[in-house]
């Protein structure tokens, strides 16, 4: 299962990809009248990483991708999604893995922001669902600011089954829920600071409207909530992701 090609016009992101993930560069076009210090730096990075580029008229670039013209266009290679089996083979002999599991995230802006945040905190694996879930689109690539090239995207038919498989590897699974949905009868509410730092951890983030499905919550070992004022019912899922990963990162490095 392959991802579509991506089109990058941001010079900053192009520099990041050429520096950190040159293997994902399919084509690099530079307008033959484009001259700036950024362009020169990009050309040096391309030469350093032995990436060829084409000097073409502006109209050629616009005929390929006509949004956000900057004088340069990087076309990324399609990225292969991992299967759950491939993920397990990669992590089964590693310690202190942290995996994000997304339960039917629908907004590409949220997915892109989650991926960028995950990349910032060195998360290496994100699990998404094949159905009822936004896929890796051009918008997701742009919002992630190239973050999609820094981690593995694992695609599964149902994230419930992925949770079950990770539990077999002794992962501790934590569901994220807004405080307004937490009642006195809710069990296993866990403070982020109480998470044991030598555990294998999976964090489940739920759908923007419905949250995490009940059958998945039942499989989780604990529930994480971010307490905030009652002026809002819940935080945006990508904001919650950032707060949780920041707190976990502090815990793991302390």
Q: Write the DSSP assignment of 134-195 as a string of letters.
A: ----HHHHHHTTTGGGSSEEEEES-HHHHHHHHHHTTEEEEEE--GGG--TT---B--GGGS
pLDDT in the model for residue 187: 61
Considering the domain architecture, whether residues 191 and 70 belong to the same structural domain is answered as no
Q: Which of 198-202, 230-234, 241-245 has the lowest mean pLDDT?
A: 230-234
Q: Helices marked H in the chain — which ranges? A: 11-20, 37-48, 58-64, 84-91, 108-120, 138-143, 159-168, 214-219, 237-253
**Residues above pLDDT 90, as percent of the chain:** 77
pLDDT in the model for residue 186: 62
* pLDDT confidence tier of residue 3, bands split at 50, 70 and 90: low
Tell me what the mean pLDDT of segment 77-99 comes to. Answer: 92
Has residue 2 got a pLDDT over 70? Answer: no
pLDDT in the model for residue 229: 80
What's the CATH code of the domain at 16? 3.30.1330.30
Has residue 66 got a pLDDT over 90? Answer: yes
Considering the domain architecture, whether residues 72 and 160 belong to the same structural domain is answered as no
pLDDT in tens, 172-229: 999 998 877 776 546 688 888 788 777 899 999 999 999 999 999 999 999 998 888 8
Specify whether the CB–CB gap between 72 and 11 falls below 8 A. yes
What's the CATH code of the domain at 92? 3.40.1280.10
Specify whether the CB–CB gap between 103 and 216 falls below 8 A. yes
Helix (H, G, I), strand (E, B) or coil at 48: helix
Considering the domain architecture, whether residues 117 and 177 belong to the same structural domain is answered as yes
CB atoms under 10 Å from CB of 55, counted, come to 12
Tell me what the mean pLDDT of segment 80-108 comes to. Answer: 94
Domain that holds residue 41: 6-76
Residue 31, phi-psi category: left (phi > 0), alpha (psi -120 to 50), beta (remainder): beta
Considering the domain architecture, whether residues 211 and 232 belong to the same structural domain is answered as yes
Considering the domain architecture, whether residues 115 and 227 belong to the same structural domain is answered as yes
């Amino acid at each position: 299962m392959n991802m579509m090609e991506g089109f990058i016009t941001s010079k900053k992101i192009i520099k990041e990809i050429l520096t950190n993930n040159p293997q994902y560069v399919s084509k690099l076009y530079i307008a033959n009248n484009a001259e700036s210090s950024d362009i020169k730096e990009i050309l040096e990075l391309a030469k350093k990483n032995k990436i060829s580029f084409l000097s073409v008229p502006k109209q050629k670039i616009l005929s390929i991708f006509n949004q956000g013209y900057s004088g340069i266009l990087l076309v990324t290679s399609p990225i292969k999604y991992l299967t759950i089996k491939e993920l397990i083979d990669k992590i089964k002999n590693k310690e202190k893995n942290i995996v994000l599991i997304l339960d039917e995230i629908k907004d590409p802006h949220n997915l892109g922001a989650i991926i960028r945040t995950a990349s910032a905190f060195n998360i290496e694996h994100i699990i998404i669902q094949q159905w009822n879930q936004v896929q890796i689109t051009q918008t997701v690539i742009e919002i992630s600011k190239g973050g999609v090239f820094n981690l593995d995207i694992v695609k599964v038919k149902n994230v419930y089954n992925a949770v079950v498989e990770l539990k077999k590897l002794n992962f501790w699974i934590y569901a994220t829920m807004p405080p307004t949905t937490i009642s006195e009868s809710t069990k296993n509410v866990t403070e982020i600071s109480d998470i044991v730092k030598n555990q294998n951890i999976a964090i489940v983030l739920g759908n923007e409207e419905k949250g995490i499905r009940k059958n998945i919550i039942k499989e989780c070992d604990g529930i994480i909530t971010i307490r905030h004022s009652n002026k809002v019912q819940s935080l945006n899922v990508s904001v919650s992701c950032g707060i949780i990963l920041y707190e976990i990162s502090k815990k793991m490095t302390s």
